[in-house]
């Protein structure tokens, strides 16, 4: 469930992960999940679904969105703009950004927006998951965004494995030399807590991470244990 700690803000679960306080009840897991899916739909793909206006940088009004959803779906008559702020604050991946009464998705857009995300504090290496049988070709040809607006790179090998595991049983991991890429004029944006965006990554900045890397071995072993349980 979604709750709010007086000292440490919003969190998912029954007790604050920092101080173990139970916190104030905000909404159930079912409500948070349903509203989270609607939020992702509106902010990433289709603001017109709930008749909200989105500016060129992807911002929409939380108050306008709450009014629209509660007007169309009466069981959300209690919904207010600050409920979306709670969902955003409790999101561990940092998928949303809130400024005052405005909210936007930080990545994952299929609609055209102009990114004004920060480009500083980029890690020296980022990571990208792919099908194992495609890894060597990608290292030789580079990474393109395909049907997405941007390439989504991960902060760590484990982050990339988890992102790729959604669609690939055991992803191969490509390492991106961001120091050289940025020095050569490629822009990389910070989006969320573990996700970074860029338009393309030429092959000269790419390396395949070995399948015997400890992070890959440990993560795959954990997946195997979870499947057996």
What is the CATH number for 10? 1.10.10.970
What mean pLDDT comes out for the span 217-226?
91
Residue 112 lies in a domain: no
Q: Are residues 134 and 176 in the same domain?
A: yes
Q: Are residues 152 and 220 in the same domain?
A: yes
Residue 59 lies in a domain: yes
The pLDDT of residue 147 is above 70 = no
**Residue 9, CB-side half-sphere exposure with 13 Å CA sphere:** 10
Distances (CA, A) of 59 to 62, 107, 116, 126, 146: 9, 12, 11, 27, 24
Chain segment 198-207, per-residue pLDDT in tens: 999 999 999 9
The range of the structural domain enclosing residue 171 comes to: 125-228
Percent over 90 (pLDDT), the chain: 77
**Residue 172, CB-side half-sphere exposure with 13 Å CA sphere:** 16
The distance of Cα 116 from the centroid of its chain, to the nearest Å, equals: 16
Average pLDDT, the chain: 92
CATH code of residue 186: 3.20.170.30
What mean pLDDT comes out for the span 36-65?
93
Last residue within a domain, chosen from 105, 140, 169: 105
Q: What is the pLDDT of residue 114?
A: 83
Chain segment 71-105, per-residue pLDDT in tens: 999 899 999 999 999 999 998 888 899 999 999 99
The pLDDT of residue 27 is above 90 = yes
Q: What is the pLDDT of residue 38?
A: 93
**Residue 82, CB-side half-sphere exposure with 13 Å CA sphere:** 6
Q: Are residues 99 and 147 in the same domain?
A: no
| Residues 90 and 12 sit within 8 Å (Cβ to Cβ) | yes
Q: Are residues 139 and 79 in the same domain?
A: no
Q: What is the pLDDT of residue 210?
A: 94
The pLDDT of residue 148 is above 80 = no
Q: Are residues 99 and 135 in the same domain?
A: no
Q: Are residues 8 and 72 in the same domain?
A: yes
Q: What is the pLDDT of residue 160?
A: 96
Percent over 70 (pLDDT), the chain: 100
- The pTM (predicted TM-score) of the whole model is 0.77
The pLDDT of residue 146 is above 80 = no
Q: Are residues 93 and 130 in the same domain?
A: no
Q: Are residues 137 and 193 in the same domain?
A: yes
Q: What is the pLDDT of residue 145?
A: 80
pLDDT band at 68 (very low <50, low <70, confident <90, very high): very high
Q: Are residues 92 and 133 in the same domain?
A: no
């Amino acid at each position: 469930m979604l709750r709010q700690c007086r000292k440490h803000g919003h969190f998912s679960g029954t007790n604050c992960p920092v101080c173990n306080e139970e916190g104030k009840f905000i909404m159930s897991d079912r409500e948070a999940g349903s509203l989270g899916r609607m939020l992702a739909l509106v902010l990433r793909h289709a603001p017109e679904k709930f008749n909200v206006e989105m500016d060129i940088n992807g911002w929409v009004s939380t108050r306008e969105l709450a009014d629209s959803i509660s007007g169309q779906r009466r069981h959300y008559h209690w919904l207010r703009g600050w409920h979306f702020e709670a969902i955003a604050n409790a999101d561990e991946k940092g998928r949303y950004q809130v400024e005052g009464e405005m909210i936007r998705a930080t990545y994952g857009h299929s609609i055209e927006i102009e990114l004004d995300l920060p480009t500083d504090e980029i890690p020296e290496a980022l990571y990208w998951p792919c099908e194992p049988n495609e890894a060597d070709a990608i290292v030789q040809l580079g990474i393109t965004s395909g049907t997405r607006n941007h390439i989504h790179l991960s902060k760590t090998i484990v982050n990339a494995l988890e992102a790729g595991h959604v669609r690939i049983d055991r992803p191969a991991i490509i390492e991106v030399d961001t120091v050289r890429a940025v020095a050569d004029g490629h822009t990389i944006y910070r989006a969320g807590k573990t996700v970074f965006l860029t338009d393309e990554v030429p092959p000269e900045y790419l390396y395949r991470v070995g399948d015997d890397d400890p992070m890959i071995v440990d993560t795959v072993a954990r997946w195997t244990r979870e499947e057996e349980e």
